[in-house]
A and B are shown apart, each in its own frame.
Chain A
């Protein structure tokens, strides 16, 4: 498939737009010198990824991504950042400047190898489009049928993470505070 064939499909314009947005936002996530900005750019990246999922006929996954990531995970990030420290404006020392060239080389090499292998391996394999979206009930049956055990395990992992997070992050009450709590 030549590039002109590829670009002539309108859906690929949408893809291109989303991809560029995702990459641009992703780039800002790792280069932004403001913590909050980075987190917000992550929101943009994930929104773009959700759009890509819709393109890829995975609507349910897309909304899961929105609900879990944008609705909860990033909020949690922002929450954590703002509770600890969140100056507006530039924040020096977010990056390890000496590591930049090495990291750039490594990630570029990684990108090269991955894309090269992907192209070589899958050439012109077509993917399902927007109209052929996966019915949600198939997902539901897969989750609660064939994958019910991993599903339970994931639920258990979440529970463990919940308990672990509470245990780690809670501040031990001072005796006075404990007394006040007990009095309530």
Chain B
């Protein structure tokens, strides 16, 4: 076990470097994708690659920048916070509650900067090939750049308000990109579903932000952390409520049971979108939020842990089961993502800050790799369904091998990245006393290995079941696959417990570069026994999956048609969650609407009508009695007089100039005579 000494606690923040130029101006990274967005919007259509140049350029700069930060942080640890006050939200107890924008540069945000830039860059490059010939390439890259910018704003946010801005920004980009092929009504529905489910969760996030902001008088994470670390009394009063609200918000974005229902449908978007947003980065925002607010949960709101761990555990296992029955390869991966997010959430909730975020880190590589591989396959066979694939290893060897690497990594096979991060989570759960959950995690590892074995077998082994002649993806797509396969293999070594990699310290140390110590629970050495159990479960799953699905096309078809009673229909129907959601909506919307309607019709309208009737009666009296019979009579009389006078006078205006002239001369004469006579 690893605990902070008192001295370390006191000086944790002071010991950190301020990071120099690159940390001071890290905001450039936040702005560049927006610049790219604008450039794409205005000039994208004129460019040879329809604006992809701008998006890739921005992320390439960001990757260099964040890499510098990454190594600075790895060597010495950085904490730097830059905020500008741009407005005032209100006055709270004599303190100004200000609206700030800026960036925080510390272990967590640097990890996310680098992750978003690295995976994002590779996915963007991949998308150039994948989206070639699409009708709306420019719109696609514009929205993609918008996403990158919003995501960086989110992860760089020094306060909750900016985080919410980024949070909604990525939600918007997600909505746009899920609905990219809006010609198909189903895609529009999927986009709407994702948006609405996220909105439901966002209510929790916003309420949590309000509670925290008005309790502390600030929205800054650093002050929240300090207050939590100091066990601030006023924060302690609202900690549980605020923690639950924030967790509810995280559940939506990170697709935790039962709010995960939007994520599989979100696969309607182009595959690069699924890879970057709905697997590697955006959906981890919830986990990131939990990590960002970790001191709150660690020091004050620890009572909420049981619920959070439970929800994470349910998510990881239930979603894994759902992945077993999907025919759509992207949905397999989507449920896998939900399952892995469950792992992360469980770990963070249980107190495994490093464990959860390390899994986020490694998962980003191999899940993006798997999605891109799936995209290459879909690109080749023009179908999402595994029943149309099979035997593709002969046609697309590079895709096959990288996909296998990703699958093994995801399944947690030693010594790939997924093994280390998953083992870390299981170890943390064990240390924290969530033994049951730990066993659920091990079972989940089995399930994971099983469905990945199924996916690989159905897609790449056996014989081809689809139409046409699939061929290997172009280099612009396979190079990113290889680029992601490498960290999928090696990233795990960054965080082998108790191992320091020379000047580049352990991942735990990087991530711990925060304003206050995390109070993280972390193993000092590998628990080989537990690792062996987890590995055994994974290998069992692999072998079993292989035996069931590998041999040939006919067997595959037969096995796939085999339906386990009760369980299969339940999974097929996705636990009836969509039905339940519909039922809830349908059941509540009627009475609720009727209640509102009744209130509106009888209470509000009654008051309004009463006032109206009174006014009308008064007005009728004024109109009928005073106005019509009194005033109008006088005015009508006056106007009729004026009218008559005008009618009489207008005969004078004949339009004949000569008559006017005559009148003029006569008038002059009369005047002269008058002067002569009366002088």
Q: Which positions in A face B, CB cutoff 8 Å? A: 96, 99, 102-103, 106-107, 109-110, 113, 117
Chain A residues whose C-beta falls within 8 Å of the C-beta of B662 in the assembled complex: 99, 102-103, 106
Complex CA gap A106/B658 in Å reads 12
Chain A residues whose C-beta falls within 8 Å of the C-beta of B673 in the assembled complex: 113
Q: Assess whether B658 is in contact with A110, with CB atoms less than 8 Å apart.
A: no
Complex CA gap A117/B669 in Å reads 11
Q: Assess whether A96 is in contact with B658, with CB atoms less than 8 Å apart.
A: yes
Complex CA gap A103/B659 in Å reads 10
**Contact A106 B672, CB 8 Å, known A96-B658, A99-B658:** no
Chain B: interface size category: under 10
Q: Is B666 an interface residue (CB 8 A)?
A: yes
Nearest chain A CB to B664 CB, angstrom units: 10
Q: Is B676 an interface residue (CB 8 A)?
A: yes
**B651-676 interface mask toward A, CB cutoff 8 Å, 1 = contact, 0 = none?**
00000001000100110010011001
Q: In the complex, how many residue pairs between chain A and chain B have their CB atoms under 8 Å apart?
A: 19
Chain B residues whose C-beta falls within 8 Å of the C-beta of A102 in the assembled complex: 662
> Which residue in B658, B666, B676 is a CB contact (below 8 Å) of A117?
B676
Nearest chain A CB to B644 CB, angstrom units: 28
Q: Assess whether B665 is in contact with A110, with CB atoms less than 8 Å apart.
A: yes
Top 6 A-B pairs, shortest CB-CB distance: A113-B672, A106-B665, A109-B669, A113-B669, A106-B662, A110-B665
Chain A residues whose C-beta falls within 8 Å of the C-beta of B672 in the assembled complex: 113, 117
Chain A residues whose C-beta falls within 8 Å of the C-beta of B665 in the assembled complex: 106-107, 110
Nearest chain B CB to A30 CB, angstrom units: 13
Chain B residues whose C-beta falls within 8 Å of the C-beta of A107 in the assembled complex: 665
Q: Assess whether B669 is in contact with A110, with CB atoms less than 8 Å apart.
A: yes
Nearest chain B CB to A55 CB, angstrom units: 28
Nearest chain B CB to A120 CB, angstrom units: 9
Complex CA gap A106/B659 in Å reads 11
13 pairs, CB–CB < 8 Å, chain A vs chain B: A96-B658, A102-B662, A103-B662, A106-B666, A106-B669, A107-B665, A109-B666, A109-B669, A110-B665, A110-B669, A113-B669, A113-B672, A113-B673
Given contacts A96-B658, A106-B666, A113-B672, 14 further A-B contacts (CB under 8 A): A99-B658, A99-B662, A102-B662, A103-B662, A106-B662, A106-B669, A107-B665, A109-B666, A109-B669, A110-B665, A110-B669, A113-B669, A117-B672, A117-B676
Closest to B662 in A: A106
Nearest chain A CB to B659 CB, angstrom units: 8
Complex CA gap A106/B667 in Å reads 10
Closest to B659 in A: A99
Complex CA gap A107/B658 in Å reads 13
Nearest chain B CB to A99 CB, angstrom units: 7
Complex CA gap A102/B658 in Å reads 11
Nearest chain A CB to B674 CB, angstrom units: 11
Complex CA gap A117/B674 in Å reads 13
Nearest chain A CB to B670 CB, angstrom units: 10
Complex CA gap A96/B666 in Å reads 19
Chain B residues whose C-beta falls within 8 Å of the C-beta of A113 in the assembled complex: 669, 672-673
Nearest chain B CB to A87 CB, angstrom units: 24
Q: Which of B624-679 contact A (CB under 8 A)?
A: 658, 662, 665-666, 669, 672-673, 676
Nearest chain A CB to B144 CB, angstrom units: 57
Chain A residues whose C-beta falls within 8 Å of the C-beta of B666 in the assembled complex: 106, 109
Chain B residues whose C-beta falls within 8 Å of the C-beta of A106 in the assembled complex: 662, 665-666, 669
Closest to A107 in B: B665
Nearest chain A CB to B490 CB, angstrom units: 82
Complex CA gap A99/B658 in Å reads 9
Nearest chain B CB to A43 CB, angstrom units: 25
Complex CA gap A102/B673 in Å reads 19
Complex CA gap A96/B669 in Å reads 23
Nearest chain A CB to B84 CB, angstrom units: 64
Complex CA gap A109/B670 in Å reads 10
Closest to B665 in A: A106
Complex CA gap A102/B666 in Å reads 10
Nearest chain B CB to A118 CB, angstrom units: 12
Complex CA gap A107/B664 in Å reads 12
Nearest chain B CB to A96 CB, angstrom units: 7
Nearest chain B CB to A97 CB, angstrom units: 13
Complex CA gap A113/B675 in Å reads 12
Nearest chain B CB to A126 CB, angstrom units: 25
Chain B residues whose C-beta falls within 8 Å of the C-beta of A96 in the assembled complex: 658
Complex CA gap A106/B673 in Å reads 14
Complex CA gap A109/B669 in Å reads 8
Complex CA gap A107/B676 in Å reads 19
Chain B residues whose C-beta falls within 8 Å of the C-beta of A110 in the assembled complex: 665, 669
Chain A residues whose C-beta falls within 8 Å of the C-beta of B669 in the assembled complex: 106, 109-110, 113
Nearest chain A CB to B597 CB, angstrom units: 69
Complex CA gap A96/B656 in Å reads 12
Nearest chain B CB to A111 CB, angstrom units: 10
Nearest chain B CB to A125 CB, angstrom units: 19
Chain A residues whose C-beta falls within 8 Å of the C-beta of B658 in the assembled complex: 96, 99
Nearest chain A CB to B675 CB, angstrom units: 10
Nearest chain B CB to A65 CB, angstrom units: 25
Chain B residues whose C-beta falls within 8 Å of the C-beta of A117 in the assembled complex: 672, 676
Most buried by B among A96, A106, A117: A106
Complex CA gap A86/B497 in Å reads 121
Closest to A120 in B: B676
Nearest chain B CB to A42 CB, angstrom units: 19
Nearest chain B CB to A129 CB, angstrom units: 31
Chain B residues whose C-beta falls within 8 Å of the C-beta of A103 in the assembled complex: 662
Complex CA gap A102/B662 in Å reads 8
Nearest chain B CB to A56 CB, angstrom units: 25
Complex CA gap A99/B661 in Å reads 12
**B483-521 interface mask toward A, CB cutoff 8 Å, 1 = contact, 0 = none?**
000000000000000000000000000000000000000
Complex CA gap A131/B549 in Å reads 140
Nearest chain A CB to B663 CB, angstrom units: 9
**B335-375 interface mask toward A, CB cutoff 8 Å, 1 = contact, 0 = none?**
00000000000000000000000000000000000000000
Nearest chain B CB to A66 CB, angstrom units: 29
Complex CA gap A103/B662 in Å reads 7
Nearest chain B CB to A102 CB, angstrom units: 6
Nearest chain B CB to A101 CB, angstrom units: 12
Nearest chain A CB to B584 CB, angstrom units: 75
